Amino acid sequence: MSETVHWADVIAEDVLRRGNRHVVATGITPSGPIHIGNMREVVIADAVCRVLRDRGADVRLIYIADTYDPLRRAYPFLPDGYGEHIGKPLSEIPDPDGCCPNYAEHFLRPFLNSLGWLEVEITVYRADDMYKSGMYADLIGTALENRDGIAKTLAEVAGTSIPSSWSPLNPLCEQCGRITDAIVKGHVGKNVDYKCMCGHHGTADFSKGGGKLTWRVDWPARWKMLDITVEPFGKDHAVAGGSYDTGVRISREIYGHEPPYPIPFEHIFLKGKGKMSSSTGILVSIQEMLDVIPPEVLRHLFLRTKPEKHIEFDPGMPLLNLIDEYDRIHEWKIPFRHMVTIVQIAHDFDGVLEVLRRSGYDISDLNAIGQRSLNARNWLSKFAPPSVKFKVQETLPVGVKKLSQKQKLALGILADEIGRKKTAGELHDEIYKIAEEVGIDPSDVFKAVYVALLGKSSGPRAGWFLVSLEGNFLRKRLREASKA
């Protein structure tokens, strides 16, 4: 965790050189399920905010949901027929499941709920409200008046060819409802005349949501509007000639605002599949993660790595190792790895408590135990590799017949030790002593234990597994196996 404090402290130190009052901004376009890759940006912003606040700064954390962005394409996760909504603002499209007021809210709400679990205190702005309420009106007017200067900046910095028909504003066509197909023909006051590809000619009032600034202009406009001083963003925006570079010039030259302190960050990659993305379906949703791990462990995942380094995320065994790492740092009394074993032995919560009691754990905090056992069951069902899953066999597995005489002898000796050795560590060490006593490799004794109990040659860490089982059952099974 020292690395986490280090990078956040370094950023905060740089930021404080710019003054003591700050607005840290973050945001996303809710075009699909918001995944843990999106959450990294928010946690980075929150970490910097917390350090700034600890150092006495007056700081706010804000989140801008780009709900007025258009639907780019009919994504694979959408029902048939959504192709007709391509080009319309997300806030103006029906919710695919009919449970929220619109498309944007359907994907935004679960994400905002997860922020509460992560204890992120944030002020949320929705772009559709901002445009419809007139918050952008003066900024749009300024952009339209300075169309040529903005076009020159885009051409010089981004190296793009700007057509004569280009406008910083994309009008919303009142006929087809799209915000991507109309061309501005002129403007007077808060109104723009436009011609849409659908054939409609109309006039739109941009002070009431009649249009949206193009992204490279929208971004510096909101810096000015909300007085944003710090912002993390994906490294794709930070490339030479990218939207941050053009935003810097537009912010200074058009809006007279100093651009925010940049925190470019790398993306999260799902092991073996590539960069997480809602549109491609390569993702692990935030809710899926919160079903499996406590919120503080999810924060730990993001904060242990510097923003400029990518995260290779594997929800299988590496995630279990990450939880173990967090448990060691924060001294959790019931290791998650042991809980994964326990929930496969116990049939219900009462059984979990019984196993914990046998294993010598404090079971006074029932809520924490209940949550951790639920997390363990969810991890097993969603992400655990087959090698971790097991079932204690109700009858003696047929595989014990193939055990050697020395392996069976070792099981008989181990049965006699059950009850004498009180702790998991003592039982684990006893297996090594028994192996030496009967003259076989310890791995052969471990294999015999797993075959006798699980019907397969491997399983959870033996000492901790054995103390989780009921003593009479365990002694009986090992003796039965020793005589097979």
Q: What is the per-residue DSSP string for 215-254?
A: HHHHHHHHHHHHT--EEEEEGGGSSTTSHHHHHHHHHHHT
**Mean pLDDT value across the chain:** 94
Report yes or no: 311 and 268 within 8 Å, Cβ to Cβ. yes
Report yes or no: 415 and 472 within 8 Å, Cβ to Cβ. no
Give the whole-angstrom CA distance, residue 339 versus residue 352.
9
User: 25's torsion region: left (phi>0), alpha (psi -120 to 50) or beta?
Assistant: beta
Report yes or no: 435 and 442 within 8 Å, Cβ to Cβ. yes
| Tens-binned pLDDT, residue by residue, of the chain (484 aa) | 444 457 999 999 999 999 999 999 999 999 999 899 889 999 999 999 999 999 999 999 999 999 999 999 999 899 999 999 999 999 999 999 999 999 999 999 999 999 988 999 999 999 999 999 999 999 999 999 999 999 999 999 999 899 999 999 999 999 999 999 999 999 999 999 999 999 999 999 999 999 999 999 999 999 999 999 999 999 999 999 999 999 999 999 999 999 999 999 999 999 989 989 887 878 898 889 999 998 989 999 999 999 999 999 999 999 999 999 999 888 888 999 999 999 999 989 999 999 999 888 999 999 999 999 999 999 999 999 999 999 999 999 999 999 999 999 999 999 999 877 678 889 999 999 999 999 999 999 999 999 999 999 999 999 999 999 999 999 999 999 999 8
Give the whole-angstrom CA distance, residue 293 versus residue 291.
6
Please, what are the domains in the chain? 2-160+214-270 (3.40.50.620), 398-482 (1.10.10.350)
Within 10 A of 428 (CB to CB), how many other CB atoms are there?
18
Query: Global pTM?
Result: 0.88
The string of pLDDT tens digits covering residues 50-90 is 999 999 999 999 999 999 999 999 998 999 999 999 999 99
